[in-house]
Amino acid sequence: MWELICHHTYRWAGRPVDISQYNNSADASGATFLADGVAAGSGAWRFFRPQGRVHILSGPAFNPLVAIQVELTVRLTEPSTGSQTIIEADNSFGVFVRDQKLFGYFVGKSIYPGATSDGLNTYQDGMEFPGYRVPYGKWAVITFLHDGVSQMRLFVDGVPVTVARSVLAAVPPVGPKGISVGNDLGGGAPFGGDIDEVKIWRVDPATGLRQFLGRPADQATIECWERFSATLEAALEKYPDCAIKLDVDFTAILDRLTRAILGKGPETRQRFLDMQREFERLWRAGRIDGPEMKKLFADWIAWLHLVGISIETDPGLLAFQNSTCLKLLLGEIGQFDCDPKYMALSHLIAKALGHTSAHPLHDEEFRCRSTTSRN
């Protein structure tokens, strides 16, 4: 679910007021205010001086990002063969024009070995040849979209102007220098045109948590999870270094598995998305332990095996499972047996995986077997 994290209109005499719920602080300097932008009275900034820009301070809205959608209402007026920056976010993402070609990029692992950022443009990745060129003197709504996991793309006025390009990394959070609109962060690469509106969305980082808590629950189940969370909190506090290590490691494992699945082609991708949708439907309906869920996971795991992905034998996951840190935490948490439906879900997945036992949290045999297999 997208979350709007910054929205400038420049309607009030150009003041960079963020009307998103985050109310990010910003200031404008060195640019020329236009009372009329894309519409009469809509307000816009013209950026042609080397130091002119709108500067948005970094803040919690920009950390984490993972997936972004950046929408910019712009009009190119000045020709240039150099980079003409529409937006640059410190160590995170950017959109610029060069010789009328439109570029979008993010900082992170690239498909090009050794590169520290990855991007696409309307020259090499256009939908047709020659690709889209930003026209002079005409307003356009430019959108750069990165889905956080698998693809990125550029759109103009809602129409794709590049192919959807694969990505190997998520969009990192914005660094301490913040975001510069109309120029790059260091100055010297002004857009050479007008910007009327800026909108930035990210994937809502609380979506998964809301989904998790969206299952209908009786009082006993709520209390069960509250007890579990309190125990977990105490365990994490006791082993803070382990908490960080496990978080980083497991996020990387999940990220790798997700990419591996999405990399298996469009059919697997579609099945993955369908599985998520159906899982969410059953989860929110509270039907997590019945035949529909059983079939969902049996089919999904069988498909993964078919395309060569075996989560249960994934070496990274097994190493994680047998790590000292995880065992320390499990030792503190104890057995989890107060949510019968969740336990049943674990059992049905274990069965689909071919395990005789289920979840390490509520299955001593599973823990012992894991320990034995390590030894």
Choosing from 141, 204, 298, 341, the residue that interacts with another protein (CB under 8 A) is 204
Choosing from 34, 141, 164, 298, the residue that interacts with another protein (CB under 8 A) is 164
Angle at Cα 266 formed by Cα 265 and Cα 269, nearest 5°? Answer: 90
Choosing from 148, 178, 190, 192, the residue that interacts with another protein (CB under 8 A) is 148
**Closer by beta carbon to another protein, 20 or else 77:** 20
Angle at Cα 312 formed by Cα 295 and Cα 150, nearest 5°? Answer: 80
Collect all residues with Cβ–Cβ distance below 8 Å to 17 and sequence separation of at least 6.
Answer: 8, 9, 26
Choosing from 50, 188, 205, 340, the residue that interacts with another protein (CB under 8 A) is 205
Choosing from 141, 328, 330, 344, the residue that interacts with another protein (CB under 8 A) is 330
Residue 103 β-bridge partners: 96, 121
Cα first-last separation, the chain: 43
Collect all residues with Cβ–Cβ distance below 8 Å to 283 and sequence separation of at least 6.
Answer: 211, 212, 214, 215
Q: What binding mask, one character per residue, do residues 90-129 give for another protein by CB under 8 A, x or -? A: -x--------------------------------------
Give the 3-state secondary structure of residue 156. Answer: strand
Dihedral angle, C-alpha 120, 264, 148, 271, nearest 10 °: 130
Part of the chain binding another protein (CB under 8 A), chosen from 46-54, 113-121, 182-190, 306-314: 306-314
Q: Does 279 bind another protein (CB under 8 A)?
A: yes
Distance separating alpha carbons of residues 176 and 367, to the nearest angstrom: 43
- Residues 8, 18 contacting (CB under 8 angstroms): yes
Shortest CB 152 distance to another protein, Å: 8
Part of the chain binding another protein (CB under 8 A), chosen from 95-103, 129-137, 147-155, 183-191: 147-155
Choosing from 61, 95, 120, 301, the residue that interacts with another protein (CB under 8 A) is 301
Query: CB atoms < 10 A from the CB of 124, how many?
Result: 13
Contacts to another protein from residues 208-247, by CB under 8 A: 208-214, 217, 222, 225-226, 229-230, 232-233, 236, 240, 243-244, 246-247
Shortest CB 78 distance to another protein, Å: 26
- Residues 300, 348 contacting (CB under 8 angstroms): no
Part of the chain binding another protein (CB under 8 A), chosen from 1-9, 44-52, 119-127, 130-138: 1-9
Dihedral angle, C-alpha 244, 212, 59, 233, nearest 10 °: -40
Q: Does 17 bind another protein (CB under 8 A)?
A: yes
If we measure between CA atoms, which residue out of 183, 194, 159, 156 comes closest to residue 39? 194
Q: What are the structure tokens assigned to 372, written together?
A: 């034995």
Choosing from 49, 255, 290, 294, the residue that interacts with another protein (CB under 8 A) is 255
Contacts to another protein from residues 19-78, by CB under 8 A: 19, 21, 23, 25, 27, 42, 63-64, 66-67, 69
Q: Does 314 bind another protein (CB under 8 A)?
A: yes
Distance separating alpha carbons of residues 140 and 98, to the nearest angstrom: 16
**Closer by beta carbon to another protein, 83 or else 250:** 250
Shortest CB 188 distance to another protein, Å: 25
Shortest CB 76 distance to another protein, Å: 22
**Closer by beta carbon to another protein, 69 or else 121:** 69
Part of the chain binding another protein (CB under 8 A), chosen from 78-86, 128-136, 187-195, 348-356: 348-356
If we measure between CA atoms, which residue out of 33, 27, 38 comes closest to residue 48? 33
